[in-house]
Chain A
Amino acid sequence: AAGVIQSPRHLIKEKRETATLKCYPIPRHDTVYWYQQGPGQDPQFLISFYEKMQSDKGSIPDRFSAQQFSDYHSELNMSSLELGDSALYFCASSLGAGISGNTIYFGEGSWLTVV
């Protein structure tokens, strides 16, 4: 079965650079989520989209932006990167709202290292 696809899996950027992460949700899933997980931390909710419209917003820095495109893939754009942005970034998708117990499926994550 198709899963959530994220790219790239690893990337290294320098401070103040820009990075873009891509996510391809499971086909026919209508909701996409982005999470940030630092070492030894729990996943922190950044933002979600429902049917290509922004749904909920969490602790996403102003330097970050995200959007979902007509083909349902989503991108997380991160600018003016800081050392503290080094983390594992997960994209997830679900069919229906996660609050209803609909399973949220996570991708394998994108490792971002800022040096």
Chain B
Amino acid sequence: GQSLEQPSEVTAVEGAIVQINCTYQTSGFYGLSWYQQHDGGAPTFLSYNALDGLEETGRFSSFLSRSDSYGYLLLQELQMKDSASYFCATSGSARQLTFGSGTQLTVLP
């Protein structure tokens, strides 16, 4: 099976940079994804890493180290609207995405 661990809560101020870490254990590994979810809303895809290294998409970047079974999501120039839950997710099989327990990010003014 798959298990992913991430911090339950992170707090930062507007304009700051925050990093959300994720460690995983999987029986098979097909890349690490990141999703954002606002309260009561649908998870929204943010980023995906199949290979080691950094992927940058605007203010968001994601990093993967397969040898360390570790990844992180980096959010820059934080805005109030970034307050949400962030999930790392991975797959051990073709059409099954397993989510971590989620990190609640609170952005303070």
Chain A residues in contact with chain B, CB under 8 A?
31, 33, 41-45, 48-50, 55-56, 58, 88, 90, 92, 97-101, 103-109
Known contacts A42-B101, A100-B30; A105 and B93 CB within 8 A of each other: no
Interface centre among B31, B50, B95, B97 (most CB of A within 10 A): B95
User: Of B41, B50, B94, B97, which one neighbours A104 at CB under 8 angstroms?
Assistant: B97
B59-109 interface (Cβ within 8 A of A): 87, 91, 93-102
CB distance from B25 to the nearest CB of A (A): 16
The answer to whether A99 and B43 have CB atoms under 8 Å apart is no
Which residue of the partner chain B has the closest CB to A109?
B42
Interface centre among B31, B33, B91, B100 (most CB of A within 10 A): B91
Interchain residue pairs with CB less than 8 A apart (8): A41-B101, A45-B98, A50-B94, A98-B94, A100-B50, A101-B31, A106-B42, A108-B41
Instruction: Collect the chain B residues with CB atoms within 8 Å of residue A88's CB.
Output: 40
User: Of A44, A55, A108, which one neighbours B42 at CB under 8 angstroms?
Assistant: A108
The answer to whether A45 and B97 have CB atoms under 8 Å apart is yes
Known contacts A101-B33, A106-B44, A107-B42; A55 and B94 CB within 8 A of each other: yes
CB distance from A104 to the nearest CB of B (A): 6
Known contacts A99-B31, A101-B50; A56 and B94 CB within 8 A of each other: yes
11 new A-B pairs (CB below 8 Å) besides A42-B102, A106-B43, A109-B42? A33-B97, A41-B101, A42-B87, A43-B87, A56-B94, A56-B95, A56-B96, A58-B96, A97-B91, A98-B95, A99-B97
Which residue of the partner chain B has the closest CB to A49?
B95
The answer to whether A105 and B45 have CB atoms under 8 Å apart is yes
CA distance in complex: A45, B94 (Å): 13
Instruction: Collect the chain A residues with CB atoms within 8 Å of residue B99's CB.
Output: 42-45
CB distance from A3 to the nearest CB of B (A): 9
CA distance in complex: A49, B94 (Å): 11
